[in-house]
Structure 1
Amino acid sequence: SSDTRSGLQTYVLTYQVEGTLNAIRGEDGVQDQDELYLNAFADSPNQVDEVTVRITGPADVVDYACYRGPEGSTDSCGTEEPEGNQVTFTGTDYTSRDGLTIMAAFPPGAFTDTDPILEEITGDGPSERQPGPLQRASDFVMENWALLAGVWAALLAAIAGTRIAFGRDETYEGVAPGEVPLEGQPHRVVRLGREPVVAPRFTPPDGLSPGEAEVIEDESVTPEAFTATMIDLAVRGYLTIEPSGTDSRGNTNDWTIAEAVNPPSRDLLKDHEQHLIQALLSGTSSVQLGSFDGRFAPRLREFNQILTKHSDSEGWFRRTGLVGSPPARGFGTFIGWAVFLAYQGVWVAVFAILILNGAGALGLLPALFAAAVAIASLTTVLVLTRRAAHGRTAKGRALYEQLRGFRHYLTTAEAHQLRWEAGADIYSKYLPWALVFGVADRWTSLFEQLAAEGRYTPSTRWYDGGSAGDFRARVRSMGAATSGLNTTGMSALRYTAGSGGGSGSRSSR
Structure 2
Amino acid sequence: MTVSHAPVQPPRSRGSGARGPRLRLLCALCAALTMGAALLMGAPTRAAAEPGPAEGRFTSVDERIELDRNGVARVRIDLVLDAGTTPVTGPVLRVPRRIEADEADGHRRYRAVRTTDVGVTSPTGASTAVRSHSARDERLYTIGDRGAKVVGVQRYTITMTVRGLVTPGGEQDGFVWPAVLAGSAVHDRFTAVVVAPDAVLGADCASGGADCRAFTSGVVARFAAQDVGADRALVLRAHCPRGTFQDVDESYTTVKTLADRFPLDGPDLVGAAVILVVGGGLTLAHLSLICRDHRWASPVPGTIPPPPGTRVVRGTAHHVPQRSCPPEGTRPAEVGMLIDARPEFAHITATMLDLAVRGFMTIHREEDHAWTFRRTDKEAGALELYERTVLKKMFPKVKGRIVTVTSTQQISRAKGGFLTTREGIERRVAELGWFRVAPNKARARCRAVGTVVGLGGLLSVVLLAGPLGLGLWSVAITSIGLLVLAVIPLMPSRTPVGSAVREQAMGFRSFLVDLDPESVDWAESGNIFGRYLPWAVAFGVSEAWIDRFQELTDEGRYRPKFIWYEGLSDSPRRGQGELEALTYLVDDFAHALALATRYASTQSPEVTAW
Describe the shift of the 1:268–1:497 C-alpha distance in structure 2 as closer, same or farther (beyond 3 A): closer
Displacement after TM superposition at 1:320 (Å): 2.3
Q: Residue 172 of structure 1 contacts residue 188 of structure 1 at CA under 8 Å; is this kept in 2?
A: yes
Displacement after TM superposition at 1:377 (Å): 4.2
Match in the other structure for 1:277: 391
Equivalent residues in 2 for 1:94-493 (5 A)?
A: 111=242, 116=247, 128-129=251-252, 141-144=261-264, 147=269, 150=273, 153-155=276-278, 157-165=280-288, 166-174=290-298, 176-181=300-305, 185-192=308-315, 195-244=317-366, 246=368, 252=369, 254-260=370-376, 263=378, 265-282=379-396, 283-292=402-411, 294-298=413-417, 300-322=418-440, 331-332=445-446, 334-335=448-449, 342=455, 377-418=479-520, 420=522, 422=524, 424-466=526-568, 471=575, 473-486=577-590, 488-493=591-596
What SS does the corresponding residue of 1:242 show, helix, strand or coil? Answer: strand
Describe the shift of the 1:332–1:240 C-alpha distance in structure 2 as closer, same or farther (beyond 3 A): farther
Structure 2 residue identity aligned to 1:432: P
* Percent of aligned pairs sharing the same letter: 21
Describe the shift of the 1:201–1:292 C-alpha distance in structure 2 as closer, same or farther (beyond 3 A): closer
What SS does the corresponding residue of 2:599 show, helix, strand or coil? Answer: coil
Q: Give the helix-richer structure, 1 or 2.
A: 1
Give distance in 1, aligned partners of 2:493 and 2:68. 68
Among 475, 496, 503, the residue aligned to 2:599:
496
Structure 2 residue identity aligned to 1:492: L
What SS does the corresponding residue of 2:550 show, helix, strand or coil? Answer: helix
Look at both structures and tell me which one has the larger radius of gyration over its CA atoms: 2
Q: Give the strand-richer structure, 1 or 2.
A: 2
What SS does the corresponding residue of 1:266 show, helix, strand or coil? Answer: coil
CA displacement 1:273-295 (0-9 Å, x = unmatched): 22222232132222223224544
Give distance in 2, aligned partners of 1:375 and 1:454. 65
Displacement after TM superposition at 1:406 (Å): 0.7
Give distance in 2, aligned partners of 1:368 and 1:287. 64
What SS does the corresponding residue of 2:578 show, helix, strand or coil? Answer: helix
What SS does the corresponding residue of 1:39 show, helix, strand or coil? Answer: strand
Q: Residue 205 of structure 1 contacts residue 399 of structure 1 at CA under 8 Å; is this kept in 2?
A: yes
Describe the shift of the 1:305–1:113 C-alpha distance in structure 2 as closer, same or farther (beyond 3 A): same
Describe the shift of the 1:57–1:490 C-alpha distance in structure 2 as closer, same or farther (beyond 3 A): closer
TM-score for the superposition, normalised by structure 1: 0.62
CA displacement 1:351-394 (0-9 Å, x = unmatched): xxxxxxxxxxxx96999998996676455323321121211111
Describe the shift of the 1:373–1:56 C-alpha distance in structure 2 as closer, same or farther (beyond 3 A): closer
Describe the shift of the 1:153–1:414 C-alpha distance in structure 2 as closer, same or farther (beyond 3 A): farther
Describe the shift of the 1:19–1:167 C-alpha distance in structure 2 as closer, same or farther (beyond 3 A): farther
Describe the shift of the 1:275–1:366 C-alpha distance in structure 2 as closer, same or farther (beyond 3 A): farther
Structure 2 runs not aligned, ≥5 long: 7-51, 72-99, 111-135, 138-165, 173-200, 207-238, 397-401, 603-610
Structure 1 residue identity aligned to 2:547: S
Q: Residue 446 of structure 2 contacts residue 485 of structure 2 at CA under 8 Å; is this kept in 1?
A: no
* Mean CA deviation greater in 150-159 or 275-284: 150-159
Q: Residue 70 of structure 2 contacts residue 245 of structure 2 at CA under 8 Å; is this kept in 1?
A: yes
CA displacement 1:184-223 (0-9 Å, x = unmatched): x45443322x633121111111111000011111001111
TM-score for the superposition, normalised by structure 2: 0.53
CA displacement 1:140-192 (0-9 Å, x = unmatched): 63324972665555455335423421311001244631012369x45443322
Q: Residue 466 of structure 1 contacts residue 473 of structure 1 at CA under 8 Å; is this kept in 2?
A: no
Q: Residue 138 of structure 1 contacts residue 364 of structure 1 at CA under 8 Å; is this kept in 2?
A: no
Q: Residue 337 of structure 2 contacts residue 347 of structure 2 at CA under 8 Å; is this kept in 1?
A: yes
What SS does the corresponding residue of 2:328 show, helix, strand or coil? Answer: coil
Give distance in 1, aligned partners of 2:374 and 2:260. 69
Structure 1 runs not aligned, ≥5 long: 21-37, 47-54, 63-84, 91-104, 120-127, 247-251, 351-362, 500-509
What SS does the corresponding residue of 1:475 show, helix, strand or coil? Answer: coil
CA displacement 1:219-267 (0-9 Å, x = unmatched): 0111111000001111121111124585xxxxx3x4322113x53x534
What SS does the corresponding residue of 1:177 show, helix, strand or coil? Answer: coil
Equivalent residues in 2 for 1:14-29 (5 A)?
A: none
Q: Residue 412 of structure 2 contacts residue 592 of structure 2 at CA under 8 Å; is this kept in 1?
A: no
